[in-house]
Amino acid sequence: MQALLQNIIEDPANSINTWLVLADWLEERSDPRSDLIRLRYDYNFRKDLSLDQKHDLFYKLIREGVKPIIPSFTNSIGMEFVYVPAGSFWADDHGKKFGRHKEVIENSFYLGRYPVTHEQWQKLMGNNTSYFSSSAVRNKDLKDFPVECVSFLDVHEFIKKMNQDSQLEYRLPTLVEWEYSCRAADNSQKGCSYNYYLNQPTNTLTTKDANCLGKRTNKVGSYAPNVLGLYDMHGNVWEWCNIRYIFEDPANSINTLADCLEERSDPRSDLIRLRLQKNIYPCCGGSWSSSKRFACASSFNFSTSPNHRSFSIGFRVLATKKE
């Protein structure tokens, strides 16, 4: 099985066939994880069920204790990345109307299992400007706490260093990629009708589920992950994102994106131009200081200056194969 998982990691573009081979291998051994794989990757499986019904069956198996298989790897500075498959989902407009529009993720990618930590930032940048340092939090080993007080521009420099002599291409996730990952790559309208995604999707979030309504950041991974194996997608720290991708000339590229949307009479073009005009970038996921739990919802984000630093804003990194 490990060889098949390694193939998925090394060749994500052609991973569907490998997933189906893995499902066959598990089925031969009466392993119920084969059904989890087929519900996600085999479009010919259980054609008698709608996408919403497949969603229900998938999470029923999870409730019964079937554990999803999560391909992952660790890079040279100790960052763990998990596989996020290509697909589509129904994006939500700040909770006002579920399933407002369909977004397509054309290529698989890898996303940091956790937000970037103090230790990882220190290892690469040689400093740590986080507010919650040893002087601010007594008697705590902070190496696995999420780094914060880093601006969008600081993060850009961090990622530039990650990309030096790397076989992978690192960047921030886009808003769409972040929400898709937070929703655990669910492609059904029912599956995208929730605000929070832990072991089960839900519209209720408590302080037992995430670090919100708190006093400070917590160690990453202190709460349950979603079924992709992603931790802290709700609470702990807000996470910097991009409108689309990091470009050498981001202003020109974002204008091009806005033009394409405008040609399709898509109102999101106005939002993109407004962000570009104001020179602001989005943050997702809520934080330890979020007083309203809906700020931690999968679809919610706010935008701020690329120079802005806050003890409630951190980030996680996305990785793709270099072409």
Q: Are residues 104 and 53 in the same domain?
A: no
pLDDT of residue 96: 47
Query: 127 and 274: one domain?
Result: yes
Residue ranges making up the domain that contains 101: 73-323
Element (H, E) at 233: none
Q: Does the predicted TM-score (pTM) go above 0.95?
A: no
Residue 102 and residue 46 share a domain? no
263: confidence class by pLDDT, cuts 50, 70, 90: confident
Q: What is the pLDDT of residues 171-181, one digit of tens each?
A: 999 999 999 99
User: Residue 256: is its pLDDT beyond 90?
Assistant: no
Give me the CATH number covering residue 213.
3.90.1580.10
User: What pLDDT is stored for residue 281 in this prediction?
Assistant: 86
DSSP 3-state assignment of 258?
A: helix
| The pLDDT value given to residue 92 | 63
Residues 83 and 55 in one domain: no
| pLDDT band per the 50, 70, 90 thresholds, residue 258 | low
Average pLDDT over residues 113-118: 97
Is 321 found in the same domain as 183? yes
Predicted pLDDT at 223: 96
How much is the mean pLDDT over the chain?
A: 87
Clarify whether residues 44 and 155 are in a common domain.
no
- The CA angle 264-267-273, to the nearest 5 degrees, is 100
Q: Residue 21 — φ and ψ, nearest 5°?
A: -65, -40
**Which two tokens mark 236?**
């702990």
Domain boundary among 69, 89, 120: 69
* pLDDT of the residue at 261: 63
pLDDT of residue 146: 97
Q: How far is CA 255 from CA 27, 103, 157, 267, 272, in A?
A: 49, 19, 23, 14, 8
Instruction: Pull the structure tokens for residue 295.
Output: 């700020």
12 and 90 both lie in a single domain: no
d(CA 229, CA 124): 25
Statement to judge: residues 146 and 99 lie in one domain: yes
Q: What is the DSSP letter of 69?
A: P
Confidence of residue 161 (pLDDT cuts 50, 70, 90): very high
Number of domains in the chain: 2
Strand boundaries in the chain, DSSP class E? 72-74, 80-84, 87-91, 101-105, 109-112, 168-171, 196-197, 201-202, 238-240, 281-284, 301-304, 313-314, 318-321
Banded pLDDT at 279 (limits 50, 70, 90): low
Is a pLDDT exceeding 50 seen at residue 284? yes
- Whether residue 230 contacts residue 182, with contact meaning beta carbons closer than 8 Å, is answered with yes
Give the model confidence (pLDDT) of 30-80 as tens digits: 999 999 999 999 989 999 999 999 999 999 999 999 999 999 999 988 999
Q: Looking at residue 303, what is its pLDDT?
A: 87
Residue 109, phi-psi category: left (phi > 0), alpha (psi -120 to 50), beta (remainder): beta
Q: 188-229: per-residue pLDDT in tens?
A: 988 888 999 999 999 999 999 999 998 999 999 999 999 999
pLDDT of 208 reads: 93
Q: Do residue 231 and residue 197 come from a single domain? A: yes
Is residue 86 domain-shared with residue 228, that is, in the same domain?
A: yes
**Does residue 246 register a pLDDT over 50?**
no
Which H helix or E strand runs over 122?
helix 118-125
- 177 and 300 co-located in one domain: yes
Name the burial class of residue 186, with classes exposed (0-12), middle (13-18) and buried (19+) by CB atoms within 10 angstroms of its CB: buried
